Homo-oligomer: A and B are copies of this chain.
Amino acid sequence: MELKIVVIGANAAGAKAAAKAKRINPKARITVIDRGNFISYGACGIPYYVADTVGEIKELMSTATGVMRDADFFRRVKGVEVFTGTEAVGIDRQAQTVSLYEKASGRAYKLPYDRLILATGSSAAIPPLENMGCPNILTLKTIEDAELVKAKAIAGRAACVVGGGLIGLETAEALKIRGMRVTVVEMCNQLLPGLLDPEMAMLLEKHLQDQGVEVLTACKVVGFDGTSRVEKAITTRGEVAADLVILAPGVVPNVTLAEESGLKRGVTGAIAVDSHQCTSDPNIYACGDCCETTHLVTGKKVYTPLGSTANKQGRVAGMNAAGGDATFAGILGTSIIRVLEFNAGKTGLLEAEARELGYDVVTVLSPASDRAHFFPGAKPIALKLVADRSSGRILGVQAVGAGVVDKRIDTAVAAITFGATAEQLAQLDLAYAPPYATAMDNLIVAADILKNKIAGHAEGITPMEVRQMQESEEDFILLDVRSPAEHQEMRIKGARHIPLGMLREKLESLPRDKEIITYCKLSARGYEAQKILQAAGFKGVKFMDGGVLSWPYELERT
A contact residues vs B (CB 8 Å cutoff): 12, 23-24, 26-27, 42, 44-45, 48, 53-54, 59-60, 62-67, 73, 76-79, 166, 296, 306-312, 315, 328-338, 345, 347, 368-369, 372-376, 404, 406-407, 409-415, 417-420, 424, 426-441, 444, 448, 457, 482-483, 486, 500-502, 504, 520-522, 525, 528, 531-532, 534-535
Contacts and interface: CB of A to CB of B under 8 A. Distances in A.
B414 A420 contact: yes
Nearest to A373: B64
A439 B11 CA distance: 12
Given A45-B375, A448-B315, A26 B535 contact: yes
A403 B525 CA distance: 35
Contacts of A48: 374-375, 434
Contacts of A522: 64-65
14 contacts: A48-B375, A53-B375, A67-B501, A76-B504, A77-B528, A166-B433, A332-B429, A404-B407, A410-B410, A410-B428, A413-B414, A413-B430, A417-B428, A417-B429
B42 A434 contact: yes
Given A44-B433, A311-B440, A312-B426, 7 more contacts: A45-B375, A48-B374, A65-B483, A329-B427, A410-B411, A412-B414, A418-B418
A329 B421 CA distance: 13
Contacts of A331: 429
A65 B413 contact: no
B431 A334 contact: yes
Given A26-B531, A26-B535, A372-B45, A429 B336 contact: no
A387 B472 CA distance: 58
Contacts of A410: 407, 410-411, 428, 430-431
Contact of A328 (B413, B414, B427): B427
B482 A429 contact: no
Contact of A440 (B54, B312, B444): B312
B335 A431 contact: yes
Contacts of A419: 418
A205 to B, nearest CB: 19
A531 B77 CA distance: 11
A73 B439 contact: no
